[in-house]
A = this chain, B = another copy of it.
Amino acid sequence: MNIAMLGSGFIARFYATSLHAQRRIDRVTMVYSRNKDNAQRFAKDYGFQDFTDDMEVAINHSSVDVVVISLPNHLHEEAVAACAKAKKHVLCTKPLGRTAAEAKRMLDLVEEAGIFAGYLEDLCYTPKFLKSLESIKNGSLGRVLWTKSREAHPGPHSDWFWDKEKSGGGAMIDLACHCIEIGRNYIGKKVKPIEVMCWADTQVHPIEAEDHAIGLIKYANGAIGQFEVSWCFRGGMDLRDEVMGTEGTVWINNFLRTGFETFTTGGGDGYVAEKTEVNKGWLFPVGDEAHELGYPNMFTDMFSALEEKREPLETFYDGYVVNAILDAAYKSAETKLWEPVVFEDWRGEDGVTYEKHNASYDADHFLIKEEKLPNGDKKLILKHKISGELSQKVTQA
């Protein structure tokens, strides 16, 4: 397919590089930038002719099948509206909106226009994420109890990110959108997020927005989705996920510890990996950064979904849900209360029951725990079903 890229910054380059790598069939053929020189440089770098500083020109170009929005957050809605008007399919970078209201308007626009709309949530497409998600859906972890997604680094690449008005917030709007959607996938997209407790602070930088935040999202089935985000982290890009289930655990490290370690006294040169802070001593490069960040899998899903007339894994509706949760998180950080997640439009399950099935040891007792002692004996912790009395029972090995 032919792609018009809106935007020519860091993320647009990451996208274009991924799209043009590995002999893929889809090509960027047009770029729009607010700055014409940047547009021209981008077109030249990626080997195509058409560039413009008029967004409508890019979107409406007859050869363009799909528009990719890689613009600052405050320009997403306008771009989506232009795509809807032009009936061009659209893929929008994360976060979808700065608020749920903004995201909802974008969702309505694409649904009314009947165009394909994909939400470019790359971290829900990393190889490790996809494989772990499949394994969890297959039951390897039992019932999911808790997920933790952490994204922390020394701060974003462009000035507009640091401007609360343009980006819609700080580290939370920038990073927690990833973490929230990762947790939602593991817990189940149909399960309703109920309420959010969030701490956020501006601990280090001279900005208005938060540069560090931690949040807990409570889902209807009792599971907790935790996020930890920061622009104050030192040491590179910390991108880790964890899942606890009744039957197992997942630990994923996407960036700083991937089995690639190198030490250098300072010979060699330059670029080691995104957001690396030093270039000597022990370094932890990533083999294929774009792949570890999910870009190739994401675009494959998007274009294949479009062709196959199915929904992609990440839709504008998902983007809207994430914004609704973020709204609650921002509110909670101010009110210091658990804030409800407010949905104008909830499409998942309502009234999920949250039942625990206690394991019986015998007719009279629940089994709390069974363990093997150092000396080989087996110890059982039991609870009487009626009296509630606790007891233990040791069986000699």
Question: Which residues of A does B touch, CB under 8 Å?
Answer: 21-26, 126-132, 135-136, 138-142, 145-146, 148, 152, 154-155, 157-160, 162-163, 197, 199, 201-208, 212, 214, 216, 218, 222, 224, 226, 228, 230, 232-236, 238, 244-254, 257-272, 274-275, 277-278, 280-288, 291-292, 296-297, 299-300, 303-304, 336-338, 356, 358, 366, 368-369, 371-376, 379, 381-383, 388, 390-392
Contact = CB atoms under 8 A, between A and B. Distances in A.
A234 B249 contact: yes
A269 B138 contact: yes
A157 B233 contact: no
Contacts of A234: 244-249, 263-265
Contact of A248 (B157, B246, B265): B265
A127 B366 contact: no
Contacts of A203: 145, 222, 356
Given A278-B280, A291-B291, A235 B206 contact: no
Report the copy number of this chain in the oligomer.
Answer: 4
The 3 closest A-B pairs by CB, nearest first: A140-B268, A127-B287, A281-B281
Contacts of A206: 356, 358, 366, 368, 383
Contact of A287 (B126, B207, B232, B269): B126
Nearest to A204: B246
Contacts of A248: 234-235, 262-265, 267-268
A121 to B, nearest CB: 17
Contact of A216 (B214, B224, B283): B214
A233 B224 contact: no
Contacts of A270: 138, 372, 376
A249 to B, nearest CB: 4
Contacts of A129: 287
Given A132-B285, A247-B266, 11 more contacts: A23-B26, A131-B285, A131-B288, A141-B264, A145-B203, A159-B392, A214-B224, A235-B282, A252-B259, A253-B260, A281-B281
Contact of A249 (B235, B274, B288): B235
Given A203-B145, A267-B247, A287-B131, A392 B158 contact: yes
A163 B337 contact: no
B282 A369 contact: no
B139 A268 contact: yes
20 contacts: A23-B26, A132-B260, A132-B285, A135-B262, A135-B272, A145-B204, A154-B369, A162-B381, A203-B222, A207-B383, A234-B263, A236-B263, A247-B265, A248-B268, A250-B262, A263-B277, A271-B375, A274-B374, A278-B282, A282-B284
